[in-house]
Amino acid sequence: MCLIGCTVATAHTFPGTSVGPIPDGAGQGPNNYGAPLDVPIVVTGVANGTIDTLSVAFSASHPYVGDLEVTLISPHGQEHLLFARTGATTNTSSGSAANLVAGNVYTFDDTVTDNWWTTVGLANVDIPSSVVRTVVTGGFGVTNPPPTTSILGVFQRRPPNGTWILRFRDGWGGDSGNVVSASITLSTTGNTRLVTRLSDTSDGVCNADCSLREAIEASGPGITSVDRIEFARPLFDSPRRIVLQSNLNTNGLVFALVGPGAHLLTISGQGRYSNAHFQGGSRTLTGVRISESTFVAVSGNSLFHGVEFAFLSDGIELNAQSGGIAEMNDSSIHSITSTGSGTLILPGPALLRRVTVSGNAARGFSSATVLANFSPVTLIDCTITDNQAGWVGGVSGFAQLQNTVIAGNRATSVFPQGQDIFGTFQSLGHNLIGDPGSVAFNQPGDQAGTTAAPLDPVLSPLSRHGGRLPVHVPLSGSPLLDKGKRVHRDARGIALVDLADVPAATGGNHGDIGAAELSPILVTNLDDSGAGSLRQALLDAPAAPQVTDILFAFAMPPAARIALTSGQLSIEKNVAIHGPGAKKLTINANRGSRVIAVQPDLRVSLTGLTLSDGNGAGLPENYSGGIVFSGTGSQVSIVDSVLRSGEASQGVGGWLVDSFASAEFIGSTANDMPTNVVLAARSGAQLQLFRSTLSKCAVVCLGDDGDSDITVIDSTIAAADGIALSLFGRLVTRNSLYAGQVNIDSGATVSSAGYNVVGASASSAFDFNDQVGTLAAPLDLRLSPLANFVGTVPTHVPLAGSPALDKGLRFSADVRRRPLFDITSIPSASGGDQSDVGAVEVQALYVTNTGNAGPGSLRQAVQDANTNGIGLDDILFDLPTFPSTITLGSRLPNPISGGSINLLGTGADRITLSGGSAVQLFSYTAPGHLGMSRLSLADFRSVDGPALEVYQSEVHLSELEVRGNQASRDGGAMLIADADAVIQSSTFANNSAAGNHGAIAYLGSNSRMRIHTSTFSGNAGLAGSAVANVARGAGTSVLELDSTTLAGNSGSAALITTASSSGAANSSARNTLFSSGGSSISNSGASASFTSQGFNLSATSEPLLNRSTDQVNAAPNLGPLQANGGPTRTRALLIGSAAIDAGLASSIHDQRGSVRPSDEPASFNAYDSSDVGAFEAQPVTLMGTTGGDVFEITGNSITTVVRLNGSEIFNQPTANQMSLTLDGGDGTDTFNVLSISIPLALNGGSGADVFNLGTSNAPGVPGLLTPSVPRSS
């Protein structure tokens, strides 16, 4: 390949393939076009420059040329019409009756003057071989002969190589034709510059060692020729990132940049620099991702194809030259925040085909997402959705629309224009507009909603979905399906798919409206394998490069689960798996295999799923990537999903991205991984986190092994016990929270795009409006527990006083799809926009006093939430003193229908909501959401019902202590009905009901309650003294207990499952401890059932605990309910408890937040050494060294303290919940045990160590040893 100084003008001819019959027209009359015949013409090996001359020729037969339309389409999506409706000068005319003759050659060339119509004529005669000019389409108002058009006006100065298409369509049924041959002849001029390295440096010369900056700087002004810039192979055959070190301004330089694909090459401005500021000339930009940049401005007749614009901190402006047009094909614009007038500003003529515009925010008061207020814009096969702007959420101005969806956008103003469009629009048919305001859409195939009832397009989340660019795919039930008129393949390369059960729209052809075409295979059951299973769908999908959408086409039961019993799901095709939602479907490997492995060099998208309990077993690499493994060269997106409870002996429990693969983790959460790393990228890989959460990481949340590229944007990484980030490669990060330690290797590169909050780091790289704690003085990020506080996945919400609040600069809506919320009392960071740092944007209301009513009270906050209308309100408690009690004089106002409220406290030991023994807390009676965390609910008593009564609203409760509540009927503390509920890390103590169900009555109807890592103690009810699962109506009620302790509750059974006359109730338990008088588990009704999931323990004989890992008539040896550390009271496992090391927990923390498993060496290990129930006993080992250390241990019934050489190293409320091993190690060390009330084991090691039990080498300090049974000696 020529690198510099090469100008080539030799013409080359390239033949077409796959010629043959032209499908007949779809009906009588003009413009009834049938399916196209696409003749591919592969242009390859043209080494230098861009197109200088081009002509196209074909030979074909057809008895009526007036029926035909012939179009030339470039590899970059540009189209030029050769002719259509030849001879027709009215709307109904059939046009010329002349005949195309096989063997004659028809050539179209700008260098001649003969007009096609003049050569053809109108008569029924054979058309001779000819060389002519292309012309406009015939029809109403067209003269004979019509104006000629220019092939070179479209294709000159564009890149030549790739697959061209010569498309033939027949527009009038009843006759047929046949294409015999086709060809393109072209010549080029100019140079080709080859980018051979990633670093952004310049010495002014582009030679064999050439950067992108050098290649651009070497380009000329484009007056007589335009240079081509390409990227060297094999370097750019795998995902690569070019990180700019300064603005890339190219005014006066004209070039055609041909990238390897937006999925392979990212040009990043680090959030500090502009990477596309072009002015003048005919530029081409293809196959590249422009990301983390400031303002992108392009003037001139520019072409964009296969380009992804993402994470820009200002908008895109495409300003065509006078007489020209800005053109964008098969591209995606998303996650852009603009403070100006729009996200995509089109001040001149523009043409967009198969473009997706999604998830952008234009925050100017009079802004629109797409602003076309100055010249007409044409949108064909486009999708514009999920955007937000000040004036119009979608498109404003002058536009023509064809087969385009504009819906689901939001305007923040209160003006009466439509949310989706405003201005002057011309419909060319088959559009869907969600809220058109006053604009009429009444052409064939058009669909339009109203402001009061906007149309929902029913789209997937934004993802690559097996393609190279992010798109939204229409899902089952979408009004877009088969209601369009599509001619081209979609943005993923999928041809039209006719869904047999969906009729076409008037004048349509069964294409889908918008940028993406659904290509479905249906899953019809939850089986592991066989017909209708997900595994079978993966096998049935066609081979790559085709792309398949896998949908779940059946009603999901509560707690739907695909249990993998025959190994991992191996994905060997390009597929998009569209799950029903992470809360609705779990794919569980039960620690028997990995969950999903994507084999090398494939493109895969996973959305709306929970993937859990994998162990990494399976090819292509055994025991790496406990839940997901991405093979070499693959491109995988995981969106709106949860990865949970994975492990792998090779160290990456969650998702391992293999070398030279790319991965996106978007709007998703990974948590509870007991092994080394949750997410990791190998050498040469790219891993991007956006709006995502990593939490409960035992060792490292996010890591790499060097020479990888990691991007973290608008995300939260909360390492409770381990390291938030361990970096050896390259990182670009913006607006993200790192709760925990961040370790940066000396060879790593960190590019902060600003507005990060880092708990603790020794690195100086966070230097751009970042907040960083030190290892000695870490920042307290003040986050809520991980829970589902509205949205599809669990998240951490910043609490009152968090340094994340209003100190960020967010690209788009948060993980809960909530917009920016300005807390007016908090100033923004320099250059910030009042958004919050991390995955969550808090929709804040504050409680600032303990009053029953009035400004700053909880009651006022709830009233304000109702006044705000349907939406989400996060109520934060910012009280002046702790502990504090808010005593309510009456029940709080019922939240409005459709409203969502979270009450987010700072600790159950700090804030108590009290009913004063007289009132209820809440009574929800309409659909919505209630979240509560870190509060105590105490002394609520009412004849109306329990403390919390909820019907139809989803409930998520975390780290609550619910105590001393009474109800005059069922459900002493809570009654939750007709909705899903999750309760975690909470304690229900001493609640009682005059009827049944001492603590919780769950009345489900096709819904599920999940209780995990919680304690029920001292509750009383006639039946179901702790929890009752009762079917309501004809549906199914599902209750799941996991790692929970039910002890000391009084009634006929701690857990009762009751079916109704027409409904079923199903309960299950795993790793749960039952210790109550009499039977702990009972069923009532023929359709009531209890299933053991194993690893349960009961103090009594329980025939329903029938798995081999269950224990019955076992000794739980529980301590009293007390403060054992952590946010709520618990019941500790004492020495000799049969629960110790006998379980399998799904979380890496017990109810207190202590790490599990914590193996007690002398105890039996059932599976992973976790303890059964909510409590994990904590063995502690003190090991001496060779340096003569002196340990001093003191303890009582509340606290154990250890000092090393006089300095305190351990101080924890650990009475009866831990064991202590003293290990002498290899040196001469002294262990002075002054007093202790926990199990003690001694191990002398190999040195001459001294163990003083009850004595001290400190004069005057008595020794008080409480005897216990040693576990080893």
Q: What is the pLDDT of residues 670-706, one digit of tens each?
A: 999 887 789 999 999 999 999 999 998 888 999 998 8
> Using CB atoms within 10 A of its CB, is residue 498 exposed (0-12), middle (13-18) or buried (19+)?
exposed
Contact predicate 307/331, CB 8 Å: yes
Q: What is the mean pLDDT of residues 414-429?
A: 84
What tokens does 724 get?
Answer: 């938030």
* pLDDT, position 895: 87
Would 12-187 and 521-772 be classified into the same CATH topology?
no
- Cα separation of 323 and 678, whole Å? 54
Q: Which residues contact 1164 (CB under 8 A, 6 or more apart)?
A: 1141, 1142
Buried b (16+ CB within 10 A) or exposed e, 46-84: bebbbbbbbbbbbbbbbebbbbbbbbbbbbbbbbbbbbb
Among residues 1106, 1102, 1040, the alpha carbon closest in space to that of 1074 is found at 1102
To 5 degrees, how large is the angle CA 1021–CA 1024–CA 1029?
A: 135
* pLDDT, position 1183: 65
CATH fold of 521-772, please? Answer: Pectate Lyase C-like (2.160.20)
Per-residue pLDDT tens over the stretch 985-1038: 999 999 999 888 899 999 999 999 999 999 999 999 988 889 999 999 888 999
Contact predicate 48/9, CB 8 Å: no
What tokens does 1138 get?
Answer: 């049969």
Buried b (16+ CB within 10 A) or exposed e, 845-870: bbbbbbbeeeeebbbbbbeebeeeee
- Cα separation of 255 and 252, whole Å? 10
Q: Which residues contact 1080 (CB under 8 A, 6 or more apart)?
A: 1046, 1053, 1054, 1055, 1074, 1098, 1099, 1100, 1102
To 5 degrees, how large is the angle CA 452–CA 457–CA 458?
A: 115
Q: Hey, what amino acid is at 410?
A: R
Among residues 692, 766, 684, 759, the alpha carbon closest in space to that of 732 is found at 766
Q: Would you say residue 4 has pLDDT above 50?
A: no
* pLDDT, position 1136: 84
Report DSSP state, residue 25.
Answer: P
CATH fold of 12-187, please? Answer: Jelly Rolls (2.60.120)
Among residues 751, 757, 753, 783, the alpha carbon closest in space to that of 770 is found at 757
DSSP string, 622-674: TTSSSSEEEPTT-EEEEES-EEES---TTSEEEEEE-TT-EEEEES-EEEEE-
Partnered with residue 603 across adjacent β-strands are 635
User: Which 3 state secondary structure label does DSSP give 67?
Assistant: helix
Q: What is the mean pLDDT of residues 83-108?
A: 96
Per-residue pLDDT tens over the stretch 240-281: 999 888 888 777 788 999 999 999 999 988 877 765 555 556
Instruction: Tell me the H-state helices in 366-498.
Output: none
Per-residue pLDDT tens over the stretch 575-609: 999 999 999 999 999 999 999 999 999 999 999 99
Per-residue pLDDT tens over the stretch 823-875: 999 999 998 999 999 999 999 999 999 999 999 999 999 999 999 988 899 99
Contact predicate 1255/1231, CB 8 Å: no
> Using CB atoms within 10 A of its CB, is residue 148 exposed (0-12), middle (13-18) or buried (19+)?
middle
User: Which 3 state secondary structure label does DSSP give 859?
Assistant: helix
In the chain, % helix, strand, coil (3-state, to 5) comes to 5, 40, 55
Note the Cα 774 to chain centre separation in Å. 31
Q: Hey, what amino acid is at 884?
A: S
Q: Would you say residue 1262 has pLDDT above 50?
A: no
Report DSSP state, residue 1139.
Answer: T
Q: Would you say residue 430 has pLDDT above 80?
A: yes
Contact predicate 49/225, CB 8 Å: yes
Percent of the chain at pLDDT > 70 equals: 91
* pLDDT, position 1271: 26
Per-residue pLDDT tens over the stretch 911-956: 999 999 999 999 988 899 999 999 999 999 987 789 999 999 999 9
Contact predicate 872/862, CB 8 Å: no
What tokens does 1121 get?
Answer: 């309910």
Domains in the chain: boundaries: 12-187, 360-518, 521-772, 959-1176, 1179-1265
The secondary element (H helix, E strand) that includes residue 265 is strand 265-268
Highest mean pLDDT (candidates 62-71, 1043-1052, 1257-1266): 62-71
Q: Would you say residue 1077 has pLDDT above 60?
A: yes
- Comparing 375 with 457, the larger pLDDT belongs to 457
* pLDDT, position 1246: 60
Per-residue pLDDT tens over the stretch 1172-1228: 999 998 776 666 666 677 777 777 656 777 777 777 766 665 544 566 666 666 667
Torsion of CA 292, 293, 294, 296, to 10 degrees: -130
- Cα separation of 960 and 983, whole Å? 9
Q: How many CA atoms does the CB half-sphere of 963 hold within 13 Å?
A: 19
User: Which 3 state secondary structure label does DSSP give 662?
Assistant: strand
Mean pLDDT taken over the chain: 89
- Cα separation of 1011 and 985, whole Å? 9
Instruction: Tell me the H-state helices in 580-657.
Output: none
Q: How confident is the model at residue 650 (pLDDT cuts 50, 70, 90)?
A: confident
Count of other CB atoms within 10 angstroms of residue 881: 7
Per-residue pLDDT tens over the stretch 956-995: 999 999 999 999 888 899 999 999 999 999 999 999 998 8
Count of other CB atoms within 10 angstroms of residue 199: 12
* pLDDT, position 1265: 34
Q: How confident is the model at residue 1148 (pLDDT cuts 50, 70, 90)?
A: confident
Instruction: Extract the runs of DSSP E, i.e. beta strands, from 781-851.
Output: 844-847
CA distances from residue 425 to 379, 428, 429, 575, 1022 in whole angstroms, order as listed: 11, 10, 12, 36, 68
- Cα separation of 129 and 102, whole Å? 10
Instruction: Extract the runs of DSSP E, i.e. beta strands, from 16-111.
Output: 21-22, 37-43, 50-61, 68-73, 79-84, 106-109
CA distances from residue 237 to 263, 543, 734 in whole angstroms, order as listed: 10, 21, 27
CA distances from residue 121 to 95, 97, 109, 116, 262 in whole angstroms, order as listed: 10, 8, 19, 9, 47
User: Which 3 state secondary structure label does DSSP give 838?
Assistant: coil
Backbone angles phi, psi at 539, to 5 degrees: -70, -35
Q: Would you say residue 1244 has pLDDT above 70?
A: no
Contact predicate 1244/1264, CB 8 Å: no
- Cα separation of 564 and 557, whole Å? 18
Count of other CB atoms within 10 angstroms of residue 1208: 10
Percent of the chain at pLDDT > 90 equals: 69
Q: Would you say residue 1167 has pLDDT above 50?
A: yes
Q: Would you say residue 1052 has pLDDT above 90?
A: no
- Cα separation of 619 and 569, whole Å? 10
